Chain A
Amino acid sequence: MRRTLANLLPPAFVVILALAAWEALVRLRHIPEYLLPGPLRIAAALRDDWPVLFPALLQTLAITGEALLAAAVLGAGLAVLLIQAKWIERSLFPFAVILQVTPLVAIAPLLLIWVKDVRLALVLCAFLVAFFPVAANTTLGLQSADHHLLDLMRLYGSSRWKVLRFIRLPSALPYFLGGLRISGGLALIGAVVAEFVAGTGGAASGLAYRILEAGYTLAIPRMFAALTLLAGSGVLLYALLSGVSYFALRRWHESAVRRESAQTSEEQYRSGL
């Protein structure tokens, strides 16, 4: 407990200091709030505009969540398909790469034209950017299974499905979770970018729409409040996915294992003799 406090104190102090400096700068230089509002003004906007901003936040998060879920399922699914044969990988992977390198802002207008349901189009946009890290990482993970373990499976005449279930999927789990962490942030960005492109014409009313609206009406503190919510959600999403990763891997993977507490079993074994 004391350690966590000691760990949290310095960064908290730095953040408070930075916010105070910002507030001081705005006040001392008399910067108008339509250029740069101070943190206190933003906090006030957050409180006053909560009834407008909170539903918008939920809307954006819902789109992000759905896109991320689809990316996780379909990304892992594609990865499993890709490793079945070299020719499948060679033929399908370029498509994934092309989708990845084409900027979302360029595809989003098309998608909004093609897909009647605006909300579905938004999810699709967010999914497109979130999909690749999961697919690419999981593919790498499935291919990184210990080849001696694969030999062992051959020794017992195991089917492809058993090899996948017993060896390849567990080997790929840390890679999948690493990809998911990246995808979480990307899905949020994708959702916001898509909302921007959909603009005021869109029926949906996520946070991006509120930011655009605030920009048009020069309600800059509200704009900052919406930005704060977005950034905060991004951080929380990342923390959440890191937590999932930690809990899934804490027993065995180097990334999640705590070092100091490890007493080797040989020691236990010796002392037990």
Chain B
Amino acid sequence: MPLRVSPIPTLEPVVRLQRVTKRFAGGTEALAGLDLAVAPGQLLALLGPSGCGKSTALRLMAGLAEPTTGSVERNIPAPHAVGFVFQEPTLMPWATVEDNVALPLKLLGLPRAEARRRVGERLKRLGLDGFARAYPRELSGGMKMRVSIARALAAQPRLLLLDEPFAALDEITRWRLNDELLDLWRAENLAIVFVTHSVYESAYLATRIAVLSARPGRIVGEIAVDAPAPRGPDYRGSEDYLRTCRTVSESLAKALGES
């Protein structure tokens, strides 16, 4: 059986949301009673229809927003241990790739030489070493996203949050970045939460998928994906993968039907 239902994380979660609701000033209710815990080393996909509050949940986890009721606990040395990748690359257009990636280190007050060394390593790992002195406008969408990921990882976070990071990219680039993300996750003892509306992406990447209902969002289904690492191109064609996709699709359909 490649699938089983919602395992209880045994390790102390990196971030835990309890009975979280979020209502915006305009009266929009984005989240209603969200319970979610992310274990260390977990790769969690938040899957749901557009506007279901996925991004809001992510911002709450990052501490960029406060819940209206309920609690958000982060069990990581704040604040530099959270990396965030936005929907758009969100690079500083006036700074080179190198300086963009170095920003978090500069903000945390790392010595220049040390920051330089770490940035160099980051760029190498993401295949960007030839582009240290390039400006963002000279890069393609996929390359910009790589820089954005490199920046999020520069300060060696233990939790990486990604908000539909690859939604605007073409499929080939998207697949390649999916694989690169998996490589990073394996290499770095990271917990990753990424928001997506793609069933296929969530089934390919995640070790656990949380399906959110339409607004106001809450968890309506959780699916653990036990397919072994390394997942690669072969996995995309495998029975396991297709079965996971089907299970996730059904869960998502149910989520939409309920609301």
Contacts and interface: CB of A to CB of B under 8 A. Distances in A.
Contacts of B86: 148, 151-152
Given A170-B92, A252-B93, A155 B84 contact: yes
A166 B104 CA distance: 11
Contacts of A153: 107
Contact of B107 (A146, A156, A252, A253): A156
A149 interface: yes
A265 B84 contact: no
Which 5 pairs of residues, A with B, have the shortest CB-CB distance? Answer: A266-B140, A148-B90, A156-B107, A157-B79, A265-B139
A166 B107 contact: yes
A1 B88 CA distance: 40
A271 to B, nearest CB: 11
A166 B100 CA distance: 10
Interface in B113-168: 127, 130-131, 134-140, 142-143, 155
Contacts of B94: 170, 173, 251-253
11 contacts: A149-B90, A151-B59, A152-B103, A154-B64, A155-B64, A170-B92, A173-B94, A252-B93, A253-B93, A264-B139, A265-B134
A83 interface: no
A179 to B, nearest CB: 18
Contacts of B140: 264-266, 269
A257 interface: yes
Interface of A: 146, 148-149, 151-158, 162, 166-167, 170, 173, 251-254, 257, 262, 264-266, 268-269, 272
B131 A151 contact: no
Nearest to A251: B135
Given A252-B137, A266-B140, A156 B92 contact: no
Nearest to B128: A269
Contacts, number: 79
Given A152-B84, A155-B63, A252 B103 contact: no
A267 to B, nearest CB: 8
A127 B239 CA distance: 75
Given A155-B64, A269-B140, 18 more contacts: A149-B92, A151-B59, A151-B64, A154-B63, A154-B64, A155-B63, A155-B79, A155-B82, A156-B79, A156-B108, A157-B79, A157-B107, A252-B136, A262-B137, A262-B138, A265-B134, A269-B127, A269-B131
A257 B137 contact: yes
Contacts of A167: 92
B84 A151 contact: yes
Contacts of A155: 62-64, 79, 82, 84
A269 B92 contact: no
A156 B105 CA distance: 9
B197 interface: no
Contacts of A173: 94
A162 B64 CA distance: 18
Contact of A269 (B79, B80, B84, B143): B143
A151 B59 CA distance: 10
Nearest to B108: A156
A251 B80 CA distance: 30
A162 B108 CA distance: 11
Contacts of B64: 151, 154-155
A272 B130 contact: yes
B103 A166 contact: yes
B63 A265 contact: no
A206 B242 CA distance: 83
A266 B176 CA distance: 13
A265 B131 contact: yes
Nearest to B151: A152
Contacts of B79: 155-157
Contacts of B103: 152, 166
Q: Which of B84, B93, B135, B136 has the most CB of A within 10 A?
A: B93
A264 B92 CA distance: 18
A54 B100 CA distance: 49
Nearest to B97: A265
A158 B108 CA distance: 8
Contacts of A158: 107
Contacts of B78: 157
Given A156-B79, A170-B94, A253-B93, A266 B107 contact: no
Interface string B52-74: 00000001001110000000000
A252 B139 contact: no
A265 B136 CA distance: 10
Nearest to A265: B139
A268 B107 CA distance: 31
